[in-house]
Structure formats: structure tokens, C-alpha cells
Structure 1
Amino acid sequence: MSRRRYENILRFMHFSDNSLCPPREHPQFDRLYKIRPLITHFAARFAEAYTPGRNICVDESLMKYKGRLGFKQYIPSKRSRYGVKVYKLCDSESGYTQAFRVYEGKDSSLDPPGCPEHMGTSGKIVWDLLFPLMNKGYHLYFDFYTSVPLFKLLYCFDTAACGTVRKNRVGFPAQLVRTRLKRGETSALRQEELLAVKYRDKKDVYLLSTIHTERSVEVSVRGRAERIRKPVCIKTYNRHMGGVDLADQLLQPYQIMRKSRAWYKKVAIYLMQIATHNAFLLCKKANPGVTLSFLQFQLQVISGFLYQDAHAPRAVMGDRVGATHFIFKIPPY
């Protein structure tokens, strides 16, 4: 394929009929209309292809984009800083993306099925991602979305949760906030199934959990000879919270996105990358004895798309120099 042909394909790549898009003032206007069929397709396939383990996590990713866009986000803690935010529900062990939601702006309506009306925006996001997995005994880990009403509600649907929380959250015990602790000390309060913990490390850490008890264990600290005691809930949280970061870390070295003013093309390619990563994890799970890197898997996928039923051409070694240094004709297929 020539470069010009590739550029033409990329130029005319569309996923929806623009002539059928409702106008902005229409109540059914969808900001993601251009890629809505792709989002719907991937969301359904991700959910049906894999059953995650008991521990799952919710976090956000940022797809780099610096063009003009109404729902572009600025997150200084992310490497990209500017871009399109994507909420993800991932398996904590493998990093498989089970569900996702593209952020559409703070004024976008969010009404997930079965969610109480009094629930805040952060709670509705968690509910929307988690809804198909409720009443199945999962353990959910997250941070920004932690609140007392959400934890109690999830517990009623047989879903335990654990996450860090801000000390000024509504319902978090003020008595625990006022408690002064030295480094390594822990204070905890329990109300029925809900556990509130304050742990002093370099700074105060606040956590809510409906999974753990107040028990602490000794852990080793990198760079220090002595062992310290840490609550089990914090140790488990650190272990199972990194599912989304694990997926992003594996995708980062193989970014295929190119500079483009069309935001929907970048988001579409980003979703295709997530789908490729999920397929790689499914391939490893189906073939546990096969050693295959993510790069090798992507090359095999590309080769499969290019040649399909035909065999990829192989170079013939010459007398002195390998034939791979010379042009060879690709047979038709």
C-alpha cells in the first residue's frame, strides 16, 4: 500500500452518516455521534468475550489531544495533560478493559439504568460501568469516586468496595480526621459493614472499605531494613488498584496515533488499540504455554489483515547478502 493510498483511507474514514446527525439544539444530540457505532460495538464485545476475576478497578485514562474540542480535559497529573478522558473498568490482575465510557463534558446527561437519582456524578459513572457485574460478588477498587452512600449502595447489590477518600467527604467520620497519629500508626472506625481507616505514612491516608477488617500486617519497605506495620486494606488496595495503569503501560510503547485535527479519528484508533490489547490478553489466556509478546502479537495481526489466506512472502537468501536488502514482488491474493 502506498502512502497516498493510506492517507486517502485515513482521510475518508467515517463511522456514521453525518447527514443523519441531530442538530446541536436537538434534545437527542450526541457529541459522540461520529463514533457511537464503534463505541457500542466494542463495549458489547469487551463484555461478552471475557469474565474478569474477583478483583476489578475503576480509573480514568487520558488520550492525548490538543486540538479544539468542547470536552477536552486538562489533567496535570497525567503525562499527556490535555486530551479526551476515558473512564475504564479493568480486571486488576490482567488489565483487561471490561467496560469503558468516553467523557462528554460536565453538562452531559448521565442516567444509568437502576441508579438512584440522588447519586452524584461520580457515583453514576461507577454504577454505569459496573451495572452488568452487580450481584456477582465482585471486589471493586477505585479512588476519585469514593463516597459513603455509594459504598452502602454497592454493598446492597453484593458488591464490596475499597478506595481512598477525601477527609471532607460527606459521611466520613470527623472524629477520625481529628485523630493525631505518628508515622506508621493506624486508627479505624466501623459502622456495620463500612470500615473507615486513617493511616499515617508520609502524610495522612484515608480509606473506606466494605471488604476488609482493621487487621494490620508487617510489610517491607524498599530502601529500609526494618519492616513496618500497615493495614491490610491499604496493602490490598495498592495491589489491586493498578489494572487501568497496567493496560496503559502496555499500550504506551506502541502508540499508533498520528497528529490529526479530527478528534473522532484519534479516539477511534485509541479504541482499536484497546481492542488489540484485550485480544492479546485473550490469546495468552487461551494459549498458556505459548510465549508471545505484545509486539509479536500485533505483527501477526497486521500480517493476517494484509495477507489473509495467502502466505506472507519470504525472502530468499543470496550468495553473499541476504535478499531482505532488495526489493521483491508481493504475489497477488
Structure 2
Amino acid sequence: MSDKPGPSKRSSKTSILTSRAKKRRTNFFSDESDCSSDEEVFSQCSDGDKEWEEEEETESSDESIFDSSKSCKNRLAVSRDPLELSHKLPPKNQAGSNEVMPSRHISTEKDNPNSPDVIQDYGMYPDIPDNLLVDIDTTPSVSLLRSSAPTPNLSIQEIPTLRNENFASSPTPPTLSARHEPSQPEDQQPSQQGATSYWTSDGTLKIIDFTKTQELLVPAPSNPYEAFRLLLDDDYLDMIVHETNLNAVRVLGQPGLTEKSRITHWKDLDREELIIFLGLLLHTGTIRLNRLSDYWKKHWLFNLSCFSQYMSRNRFMLILRCLHFTSEPSDEDRLAKIRPVMDHFNNTMNAIYYPGKQLSLDESIVLWRGRLVFRQFIKNKRHKYGVKLYVLAEPDGTVIKFQIYGGAGDETAGVGHTQKVVLKLLEEKLDSGHSVYMDNYYNSYDLAVKLLDRQTYCTGTLGKTRKGNPIELGTVTLKKGENKSLFLNNVHIGKWRDKRYVLYLTTEHENEMIEVTNKRGQITEKPSAIVHYNNFMSGVNLQDQMLSYYPCERKTMRWYKKIFIHTLQMSLSNSLYLYNKFSATSKINLYDYRLSILEKMLPKQNVLTKTLVMEHKLTKIETVKIREKKEGKRTRTIKEVVRKECKGCRGKKKRTATLFECKGCPDAPGYCTECFCEAHS
């Protein structure tokens, strides 16, 4: 066939190319690679463009049923997908090839055959095969497409292959998605399973009995100090003493130490001294000063002699510096330095106390603004930056268990992180009929089903984008005070409108409204799940509030020491709750409880009176020395009073031996009567 344009030997029917199709045609011809499957892609594009043009000419009232222009755009968009563009047009005829490719008449202007884009001869584009172009007459009617259009919810994997198929032979083409939607985390994707056909307005909930009893598993304490020592036992204190002494040896072995370094005066720590150290540390929360060294100042504006009576400043600072909890370094475990403290608290609470039915789960944070790989930010917390703790507590604030979040390398990290955290904290409390209250950070339909399988209720707010949520609740419109509830598999998900919309989930509470009275005395109705959530969810916040009254942490401490002090404070507040619950005596407030414990941890004042708190009085030296005196052939033993050098005369560059001393002064120096009066006037 000649390459020059010429008259057609057969009657042709024009095909219309839009600007987008012409652009696609240019891209196809510019590609020299060999892949036969592009023929079908180009055929689909051509058909779509013709359908698009015909739809512009024939505007029908059925547009609400099927939008052909959107359908065409969808098909074009799918052809741009990288997965679909792996096939390309066949190459041009090579020299020496005997095969002649049939050509086809192409027209871009339907009403103007003289347009430069209108090709009246087959020879201008000899490379276009016949099966790449489809006549307008073979295009299915728009009304037929509208009447047989399927539901436009197919994913890319569900799209049937359109290769070697014409719209003429397939009158019901599928509608393709225009583009991929951005993916969401697995536990936050709205699920098609949540369609309203599965959820019903009437449903039943599973009845689970609480099979345990709230009780103290050890004998009830008789005083606050005994209650505190339930969580601060001797084995725990001995572990801290052992690890602190080992750490002091490591510090002593570091290069660069001078003779004046404090660590060179280190003496091994024992349990009694550690209790005094912890007592002084807790007392710094009772009396707040800007710097730790201020507690030992002798300035008359401070006058805190109680700290210097029990321990010197250098000794306190030295113990605080060497305080340690493990001697086994670990590159894999980021929490190795504090894990013994966390494990001891959790194991001790599990051994001495079993909580009631209602539990709350929330996150807390220990302030830390330094550099730390797992530092977190929570904008609605009092301390926004710090180490995040996942805490399981009772509604009154008693902490049952806590877990430190160690970042991406944590055992609960990865897909389904919140579910792992919840199941980890509840592992000793499952299959007992507990009711757990959580916020929308943890709650989901899948977690509720898993907890129901382990005989545990859950109630709380719910994120609107969680996987498994019923789709109908996302679009329903309510008036203020109205509630809409749906049920599936013993799970109740509801939407209630107060000042704003609230989405909640529960497996325990039915769809019923309860009258409540607000602070102004107004009576309103709220869903039962919301009322119970407000009553039982605040346990972790109450614990944080109690710890904020007497803070002992300091800004310059290492992160694991701050968590240790935070755990020590939690142990003290927990012991207060247990003491008030199970002690036979009357309840006591936190301030008096702390003072009662500090009085036991620090030695009594009357013990220190003889040694440290003495009146300045001139007394005769009681120390005597024995010497032997020879008298002829006999030897006589003589007792002589030891004399001391007068401290006042020595300052005057005089040497005076005296028989008197002042026991009220440090080291009981000797004084003559004149110098004593001058020094103590």
C-alpha cells in the first residue's frame, strides 16, 4: 500500500478523538517498545472518547443513574496506572517485513472534513491496526450503559480484564475508580463489613458475671508505714542497695577523677541508710525549694536543720548520683535501666491486691524535655513532653499495672499497637468479668469482640474512622439530645448528640437513656454508656492529680531516675488507697499520711538529741589516760585527765592546755573559760 494519502477503497465511518485521546495517541506512537497488549488499551481509550462526545450531544435526564463522562475519565485514569502501562504498542514495521498493517480513517473534526486533523486517506498512519479503532456506530448507547451500570465500588483488584473486548460485545462495562485513595492504618480503616445490612437497630448484649472479689491478699496493715512497706519490701530495697554499690565501683573506675571528687569518699550503702535517703527525697516534695542544695543551707532565711541532722549534703548527692537498678546493659531493650522497678511494682500489686469490677485504661506522662529516642508528645496532658506510660487503674485512682512505651522497638509496637497494649495490661484480669473503660485511642469493634471472647466488657468513646464502624452512623443527622444505636455480634455502637456528636462503643450497656443532673441543677438525658463512662473513666487522671501535689522530681535528673521517683510516688498513693479501704482505723488524707510515713523512715528526734542537738556548756573532760610512775623499786599506776588545747587561744597564737570542753560544738573542742564566753556570747 502507498504511503501517500489517497482515497479510501472502502466506505469509512469517522471516529472522533478528543484532546485527551490525541495526547494519549501521541504517547503511544512515541514508544518504540514491543508489547501487544497496548492495542487493547488504545481501543478502550478510543471507545471512551467516542462515548464521551456522544454523551455531550445527547444529554439525558438519566444522569443521576450513570455518568458517562465520569465513566470515561475512570477508564482513562486506570490506563495510566503503572501496573497497566507495562504493556505498549507493537513496534513499527521493520524493513524487509512482508506483513502490511491495515490502516484506518481518523477524523478529529466531525463537521469540518477539511481540518488539518482530519485524515481522509489510510496511508498517513500506516502503523495503526484496525482493531485499535472502533466505529461510532458500534459504540453502545448511553441509555443502555445507564440502565446496566453496576455499583461503582470496585477496587483495582476486582476490575475485570478488558483486553480483546469491545463495548459493542460487552454492553455493561464496569465503572473504574479514578484513582487510589490514600491508605489508612489497618485498625482505622472504615470497613465495608460495617454496612447497615449487617447492623440492626435491635440487638442483645452478652451477660457476663464478675467471678472475683475485691480484696487485699495479705494481712491488713495497722499503720501507714506498714502499708507503704507492702510495696517497698526488703528484697526490693536490697536490690537497689546492691546495684547502687556496684554502680559506684564503676564510677570510681572511670578515668579523669581527681582527689577532690566526691566519689573518692564513697562508702558502701546499706538498707537503713537507703531508707533515710528515700525519706529525705520524699520530704523534698513536702517542702519545696528551688535547688536541692538549699535544703542544707545554714542561712537564717532557710534554717532547715532537719536535713543536715540525718545526712550531709555531699552524701545525699553522691547516693543520688550512683542510684542504679540493674547492672546488665542491653542494646536491644531500651527500658533495661528501669525495667526491674516497673516489674517489681506490677508483680507486687498483683500479689497483694485484687481490684473490683470496674477498671479504666489511659495514658500518663512523666515530664522529660531532654533528648530521648522514645520521648512522646501529648497535647492535652499537663506535661506535654515526656515518657509515656500506659496505666491500668481503678476508678478511685489505685494503679493496678503500668507499662512504659519504648518507641518503635517496643514489644507492643507495630500494626494493632493499641490492641496489644490493652491485652498486655489486662492479661492477668481477663476471663473474670471485668468492665474496662477506655477512650477513642484504644476502642475499636475488633478489640471489643476479642475482649468479649475473654469474658471482659469494654465501654468508651470511639473514633469515627475506626475499622468496623457501621457506615450508617457516619452520615446520620441527629438533633440535640437524640441517640442512634446499632448492634452486631453483641457489640453496641451508638451516636449521640449533645453540644457536638459523640460516637461510643459498649458491650455492657443497653440502648437506654438515663436522667442526670448537671452542676446547675438541670435535668438532662444521656445514654447509659456515656453516664457510666463519665463515672468510671477518671482513675488515671486522679492518680496524676495526687502525684502533682508533692512532686519530688528534679529537672537535672536522668530519665530513669525520674521514673523511679514517679513509681515511688505511685507506691505511696496506692498504699494510701489500700490503707483507707482495708484498715480498721478512720480514713486519713494524703498530707497526714505522708508525714506519718516520714516520721517512721527518719530516726526519731530524741535519738539524735545526745549526739547532735546539745546545749553549749563548758564541761570537764572525762577522758583519762593511765601512765606508770616508778618510785624507787616500786611502780605506781597514775590516772591523769587528758588536757585539750584551747581553741580560742590557738586562734590568738597562744598555746593553752585546758581541762574543759564544749560538747555542743562539733568535735567537742577545748576551751578556757575566757575563750568559751567570747565564742558563745
| Aligned residues with identical type, % of pairs | 34
**How do 1:173-184 and structure 2 match up within 5 A?**
173-184=470-481
1:229 is paired with a residue whose SS is strand
Q: Distance in 2 between matches of 1:59 and 1:48?
A: 22
Secondary structure of the 2:578 match is helix
Q: Is 2:372 the counterpart of 1:69? A: yes
- Superposed CA RMSD in Å reads 2.0
The corresponding residue for 2:316 is: 6
Q: Distance in 2 between matches of 1:177 and 1:110?
A: 30
Q: CA deviation at 1:197?
A: 0.8
Whole-Å Cα distance in 2 between the matches of residues 259 and 328 of structure 1? Answer: 34
Q: Distance in 2 between matches of 1:328 and 1:261?
A: 33
Deviations 1:95-128 (CA, angstroms, capped at 9, x unpaired): 11101001101332328xxxxxx97100000000
In the TM superposition, residue 315 of structure 1 has moved relative to its aligned partner by 11
Deviation at 1:90, TM superposition (A): 0.3
Contact kept? 1:303, 1:312, Cα under 8 Å: no
- One-letter code aligned to 1:200: R
Larger radius of gyration: 2
- List per-residue Cα deviations over 1:63-94 (Å, max 9, x = no partner): 111111111111111111111111100011x2
- 2:345, 2:519 → 1: CA distance? 40
Query: Are the counterparts in 2 of residues 119 and 150 from structure 1 also a CA contact under 8 Å?
Result: no
Distance 2:312 2:453 in 1: 58
SS at match of 1:34: coil
Instruction: Give the CA deviation at 1:2.
Output: 2.1
Letter in 1 for 2:315: R
Paired residue for 1:115? none
Please give the secondary structure, in 1, of the residue aligned with 2:407. coil
Structure 2 counterparts to residues 236-315 of structure 1, below 5 A: 236-307=532-603, 311-313=604-606
Distance 1:152 1:14, change over 3 A: same
Normalised by the size of structure 2, how large is the TM-score?
A: 0.43
Which residue is equivalent to 1:106? 408
Which amino acid letter does the alignment assign opposite residue 154 of structure 1? L
Amino acid at match of 1:108: D
- TM value normalised by structure 1: 0.86
DSSP-derived class of the 2:606 partner: coil
Does 1:38 pair with 2:341? yes
Alignment of 1:136-151 (within 5 A): 136-143=432-439, 144-151=441-448
Q: Report the CA distance shift for 1:3/1:315 in structure 2 as closer, same or farther (over 3 A).
A: closer
> Which residue does the alignment assign to 1:114?
none
Q: 1:213 to 1:288 in 2, by over 3 A?
A: farther
1:328 pairs with 605, 609, 613, which one?
A: 613
- Counterpart pick for 1:57 among 344, 348, 360: 360
Amino acid at match of 1:149: D
Q: Is the Cα–Cα contact under 8 Å of residues 260 and 266 in structure 1 kept in the other structure? A: no
Q: Which residue of 2 aligns with 1:324?
A: none
Output the amino acid matched with 2:338. I
Matched, 1:127 2:414: no
Alignment gaps of 5+ in structure 2:
1-310, 615-681
* Contact 1:56-1:141 within 8 A present in 2 as well: yes
Distance 2:574 2:362 in 1: 17
Assess if the C-alpha contact under 8 Å between 1:280 and 1:294 holds in 2: yes
Measured in 2, the distance between the counterparts of 1:215 and 1:288 equals 40
- Deviation per residue, 1:115-166 (Å, 9 max, x gap): xxx9710000000000100010100000110011110010011101101111
Given candidates 491, 505, 525, the residue that maps to 1:194 is 491
**Cα distance, 1:42–1:60 mapped onto 2, change above 3 Å:** same
| Distance in 1 of aligned mates of 2:378 and 2:489 | 36
For 1:133 and 1:306, how far apart are their aligned partners in 2?
38
Structure 1: how far apart are the matches of 2:538 and 2:514? 21
CA distance in structure 2 between the partners assigned to 1:172 and 1:240 by the alignment: 24
Deviation at 1:313, TM superposition (A): 3.2
Amino acid corresponding to residue 371 of structure 2 in structure 1: R
Q: What amino acid is aligned across from residue 47 of structure 1 in structure 2?
A: N
What's the CA shift for 1:285? 1.6
Q: Structure 1 residues 265 and 185, CA, compared in 2 at 3 Å: closer, same or farther?
A: same
Aligned-pair distance for 1:170? 0.7
Equivalent position of 1:212 in the other structure = 509
How far apart in 1 are the matches of 2:474 and 2:584? Answer: 48
Counterpart of 2:460 (choices 145, 163, 167) is 163
Letter in 1 for 2:380: S
**Structure 1 residues 12 and 314, CA, compared in 2 at 3 Å: closer, same or farther?**
closer
Shift of residue 314, structure 1, vs aligned partner: 9.3
Task: Compute the displacement of 1:288 (Å).
Answer: 4.8
Q: Distance in 1 between matches of 2:522 and 2:596?
A: 48
Letter in 2 for 1:21: P
Residue identity opposite 2:482 in structure 1: E
Once the two structures are TM-superposed, the CA of residue 259 in structure 1 deviates from its matched residue by: 1.6
Amino acid at match of 1:178: T
Return the letter of the residue paired with 1:61.
S
Alpha-carbon distance in structure 2 between the residues aligned to 1:79 and 1:164: 21
Q: 5+ unaligned residues in a row in structure 1: which ranges? A: 112-117, 317-326
